[in-house]
Amino acid sequence: MLRGILLRQETQDAYRQDRLMSENEEFVREFLVESAENLDQLDRDLVALEENPHDSKRLASIFRAVHTIKGTSGFFGFAKLGAITHSGEHLLGQLRDGKIDLDDQVTGALLTLVDAVRSILDQIEQTGNEGENDFNDLSQTLSRVAEEAAIHRSKAGDVVITRLTPPAPQPVAPPVPAAVAVSAAETDSPAQSVEAADSEPVVPEPASFPPIPAQAPPAAVIPAAAPVEAPAAERAPPAPPAAAARLAPIAEQSIRVDVGLLGSLVDLVGELVLARNQLQSTVNRSSATDGQPELLKVVHRIDTVTAALQATAMKTRMQSIDQVFSKFPRIVRDLAVTCRKEVQLVIDGADTELDRSLIETIRDPLTHLLRNAVDHGIETPAARIAKGKPAAGRLQLRAFHESGQVTVEIQDDGGGIPVEAVRRKAVARGLVSEEEAALMPNDRVLQFIFEPGFSTAAQVTDVSGRGVGMDVVKTNIESIGGTVDIASQPDIGTTVRVRIPLTLAIIPALIISSTKQRFAIPQAYVRELISLHTGRTPAVVEGLDGGPVMRLRGRLLPLVYLDATLGLASDTAAGGTVVVLSIDDYEFGLVVDSVAVSEEIVVKPIAGVLVSLGLYAGATVRGDGAVVLILDPRGIAQAAKLSPRSFAAQPAGDQTASALALPRYLLCETAAGRVVALPLEDVSRLESFGRDRIQQAAGRTVVNREGRLTPIADVEDVLLGRSAPIHAPQFTAVILADSIGEMGLRVKRILEVVEPEIPLNLALRTQGVLGTIAVGGQATEVVDVRSALAPFLVDLPPQVPA
Amino acid sequence: MSATAAPIPTASTPPQAAAIQSVPPQRFCTFLLAGRTFAIDAGIVSEVLRSQPLTPVPRAPGPIRGLLNLRGRIVPAIDMRLRLGFPEAPSPISPTNIVLVVGGEFFSLLVDALVDVIDIPLASIEPPVAGAEQAGLDCLEGVHAAGDGLVHLLRAEAIIGGLTAPDLERKKR
């Protein structure tokens, strides 16, 4: 959506005339943008009002929206726009005063009005004027509907109640002054504007349209305010229609900012993060800071501020998915009417946020899926009743965050997709042999509808026609790194699940290396790390289909060798670490040489020709300026020809059930060289800290983690029940889960994640030790992480001491 | 944006001037590859850099030698010798990067050396002669006879667009 900050800088300008023109134009553009938003809101409100005709607040909101458009169009001299909105306003006034009831005809007329306004606005946007169509018939329709409804109502014998409530401040004169009052809100009392807008229409108006003053009040001062401020108030949260007085502050607290400007802001912050990383690694490496505590302090401060700035800047990229969802009630309503179906649309999680750049990309695919659901999924009321279902179909649209992704689900309770017809069609089109098709599970068969041009209604007689353009939906979603899945059951309905990456520009990632080249893996996909070098190496065996698998807690985990998959010349034998990755339907172990570090990376786009390889999600620049590719785990799995869900599908039998029940432990080596275990559920992540992030405060060691100070205790000290600062220039620490508390435990290194052969024996509990587990036949102490926290429960300074 | 935008004076050539000068010459960057001279539209060249460290991209089309870090922007570097079907450069040559913007994306062409920036009248550009120069025929836009030899004009879109062509895929190392 067009957004521009209205910055009028008072620069001395030689082309005064030009400027006036372009300013006026800017106002018109603002008006268009604002009106577009108002229209979306109107669509939503009208559909909602249809369901609940007595929602007076909703009606008031509709009224205000129409009124604002009317007022502003008068100001710009858009007479046709003024005329039809005026008629609409009249109808709404009748409605609001209880003179008429909302019925299909009234709703239809009002929706037609919204469409007409939209088309005039489009016209204005394209040509600068209102176009040829005068919409006289619409104005007449609106007036007629108003009258007819009133007559109908009188006939029905109802008492026509005229509302007498409107309070004192009678508007001085109709439309335009109201707009001026709204504009005055910018500087004066905001309440005044809403009041004026509210009370004005109560004045009985003639059904015919009084001439709207074509001449605007003196140009320069007021006009800016009207489009900028007033509709902002209209934009206020639709759900609980806020009291008028509460609207104004929201308007004052937000400004319009150019998207490009925000984009470059985020880019610059990304650069700053990289520069910060570089600064840190330089300071860590060199001895330049020795004897210069001031420098260290400055570096530290830059680090803190950068982290905070980064977090704030990232928030500006996020937008709620409501941007897309808000249009759907209207679309579904219109579609249902066209298809002669009854559809109840339920929207859930409209406040789910995702990156703004993705919002526009998912709009068309989701719209298409909704259309499909109404058109082909949900049956006609008669057919539904015959099946024993309620006449109205239920269409549920749900958005939620799930493991670093946004999932959007479109679920209908319609007839489902006839799988057998799809199967036959796939065979007929030569996509699969008859034998293969017969063996294929239904969910695989359904995937065929994503084939280009697979099933149009005309081609497949039995198939409901779903599949038209499904390949386009899939392509669009995949172009942003998302996925589309479909599940369907006859007469139960169809669920389409669209997964969209958050693609925050800055994400935590694991830096790994394979044949001397480094790659980044988004942390969101990493489940655990398993070292292949310790004595307790899980056996790597050949699976049934020849691919390597690893026995992991009683299940078989398929392995993918990164070097082989990427065609890298492998000079190390058998790899060093298995990174267990989980994404959608895939769970597999990626064998890499080593895991370097976990850090925040700035995701940078890569050229389209490289995206199309399907292996990389982007690239990043590390602190030393080196470019590192970000792996796309799904693409890697597909390149390695893993079959989806193979992990779940191959339980190794023997000890599965009992093995899964045992909690897992992280084995670590302490600085003193002994091996201890930490309950895995208590661990959040492993981090390395350089001297610039380590501080001594009040006799304790704390580290700076993005502006938070986290106390660190040496595991050895915890086991000895003492609290002592750590005197090491750099160290590695296991950061405990938030559920435990803000705390880290210093270890020398992580060995692996294990499942004990014997459950935790609490009898062996002592100071700092929760109990003992047996790992590889050896008794291993489990650290009591909560006791580690105890000495730190005294208040810590929440901020970095300057 | 409305069509009636405020008239902002632009720097473009006045129409009458364009009418008098038949076709203005176009500016090209010329560079060397395996002893031959090639040229690319200078209008899309954003900068020229010395040899840069590259991060290889496994499984990428052969001519993509790797990614370079252009002040935080990730730019793929295309080895023009490989792209045009010449033998790989002998190791002593450290290639020059000619950074282009094509279709909104940045690319870097790795060439043996940058020669010059010259104006070539469009009228003097002749269509490529079939058979005369097999190398990189798919990117060749035309030929210009300079004083001491031929300058082969390349089309950037074709260089990029042809990267995924099957015959180049096969040349992958």
- Are B61 and A609 a contacting pair at CB < 8 A? yes
**Sign of the alpha-carbon torsion through B151, B156, B159, B161:** negative
Nearest to A128 among B3, B59, B72 (CB): B3
- Are B67 and A627 a contacting pair at CB < 8 A? yes
Nearest to B6 among A25, A605, A615 (CB): A25
- Are A621 and B74 a contacting pair at CB < 8 A? yes
Partner A contacted by B3 (CB < 8 A): yes
The CA-atom distances, in angstroms, between B69 and each of A409, A446, A505, A618, A795 are 39, 43, 17, 13, 45
Look at residues A360, A350, A636 and name the one whose alpha carbon lies nearest to residue A476.
A360
CATH of B24-170, one of 2.40.50.180, 3.40.50.720, 3.30.565.10, 2.40.30.10: 2.40.50.180
**Strand, helix or coil at A143?**
helix
ipTM, 2 decimals?
A: 0.80
For residue A801, the model assigns a pLDDT of: 39
Set of chain A residues whose Cβ sits within 8 Å of the Cβ of B53? 626
- Are B72 and A610 a contacting pair at CB < 8 A? no
- Are B6 and A274 a contacting pair at CB < 8 A? no
Partner A contacted by B107 (CB < 8 A): yes
- Are B164 and A612 a contacting pair at CB < 8 A? yes
Other beta carbons within 10 angstroms of residue B33's beta carbon come to 24
- Nearest chain B residue (CA) to A615: B59
- Are B69 and A628 a contacting pair at CB < 8 A? no
CATH superfamily of the A26-244 domain: HPT domain (1.20.120.160)
In whole angstroms, what is the distance from residue A600 CA to residue B56 CA?
A: 22
Rounded to a whole number of angstroms, the distance from the CA of A126 to the nearest CA of chain B is 6
- Are A612 and B72 a contacting pair at CB < 8 A? no
Chain A interface with B: residues with Cβ < 8 Å: 18-19, 21-22, 25, 28-29, 124-128, 267, 270-271, 274, 517, 566-568, 604-610, 612-613, 615-616, 618-619, 621, 625-629, 639
- Are B74 and A22 a contacting pair at CB < 8 A? no
- Nearest chain B residue (CA) to A33: B1
- What mean pLDDT, rounded, does chain B reach? 77
B161-170 pLDDT, tens digit each: 877 654 444 4
For residue A645, the model assigns a pLDDT of: 54
Rounded to a whole number of angstroms, the distance from the CA of B104 to the nearest CA of chain A is 10
Q: Taking chain A (802 residues) in consecutive chunks of 10 residues, what is each chunk's mean pLDDT?
A: 34 43 68 79 81 80 80 77 82 79 80 84 80 76 75 51 39 39 38 40 42 40 36 41 42 72 81 80 70 81 87 80 88 86 89 82 87 86 89 90 79 86 83 80 80 55 48 78 82 87 70 88 85 60 64 77 82 70 80 83 82 86 84 86 52 35 76 84 78 79 80 84 80 80 83 72 72 77 78 47 38
> Residue written as tokens 């803000």?
A742
**What residue ranges do the domains of chain A occupy?**
26-244, 259-320, 322-501, 506-657, 662-792
**Sign of the alpha-carbon torsion through B150, B155, B156, B161:** negative
Partner A contacted by B61 (CB < 8 A): yes
Nearest to A25 among B2, B54, B72 (CB): B2
Set of chain B residues whose Cβ sits within 8 Å of the Cβ of A626? 53, 55, 69
Look at residues A59, A179, A36 and name the one whose alpha carbon lies nearest to residue A110.
A59
- Are B72 and A613 a contacting pair at CB < 8 A? no
B48-93 pLDDT, tens digit each: 998 888 999 998 888 899 999 887 789 999 999 888 888 887 776 7
Q: Which CATH architecture has domain A322-501?
A: 2-Layer Sandwich (3.30)
A662-792 matches A506-657 in CATH topology: yes
For residue A182, the model assigns a pLDDT of: 36
Partner A contacted by B46 (CB < 8 A): no
Positions of E strands within A118-260: none
CATH superfamily of the A506-657 domain: CheA-289, Domain 4 (2.40.50.180)
Q: What are phi and psi of A176, to 5 degrees?
A: -60, -45
- Are A607 and B107 a contacting pair at CB < 8 A? yes
Nearest to B6 among A18, A625, A626 (CB): A18
For residue A160, the model assigns a pLDDT of: 38
For residue A185, the model assigns a pLDDT of: 36
Full 3-state SS string of A252-305: HHCCCCCHHHHHHHHHHHHHHHHHHHHHHHHHHHCCCCCCCHHHHHHHHHHHHH
- Are A610 and B60 a contacting pair at CB < 8 A? yes
- Nearest chain A residue (CA) to B1: A125
Set of chain B residues whose Cβ sits within 8 Å of the Cβ of A13? none
Q: What are phi and psi of A474, to 5 degrees?
A: -65, -45
Q: What are phi and psi of A239, to 5 degrees?
A: -60, -70
Residues near A749 by beta carbon (within 8 Å), at least 6 away in sequence? A668, A669, A732
**Strand, helix or coil at A572?**
coil
Nearest to A621 among B2, B72, B106 (CB): B72
- Are B160 and A517 a contacting pair at CB < 8 A? no
Q: Are A589 and A550 in contact (CB under 8 A)?
A: yes
In chain A, the largest separation of any two C-alpha atoms, in whole Å, equals: 94
* Per-residue b or e along A718-752, where b marks 16 or more CB atoms closer than 10 Å to that residue's CB: bbeeebebbeeeebbbbbbeeebbbbbbbbbebbb
In whole angstroms, what is the distance from residue A706 CA to residue A304 CA?
A: 6
In whole angstroms, what is the distance from residue B5 CA to residue A29 CA?
A: 11
Nearest to B164 among A25, A517, A609 (CB): A609
Nearest to A607 among B53, B55, B105 (CB): B105
| Inter-chain Cβ pairs, chain A and chain B, closer than 8 A | 91
- Nearest chain B residue (CA) to A623: B72
For residue A155, the model assigns a pLDDT of: 53
Q: Which two tokens stand for residue B155?
A: 């089309």
- Are A25 and B5 a contacting pair at CB < 8 A? yes
The secondary structure of A422-487 as a DSSP string is HHHHHHHTTSS-HHHHHHS-HHHHHGGGGSTT---TTT-SSS-STTTTHHHHHHHHHHTT-EEEEE
In chain B, the largest separation of any two C-alpha atoms, in whole Å, equals: 58
Q: Which two tokens stand for residue A799?
A: 């901020």
- Nearest chain B residue (CA) to A127: B3
Rounded to a whole number of angstroms, the distance from the CA of B123 to the nearest CA of chain A is 34
Fold of A662-792: OB fold (Dihydrolipoamide Acetyltransferase, E2P) (2.40.50)
B6-41 pLDDT, tens digit each: 444 444 444 444 444 455 678 889 998 888 888 999
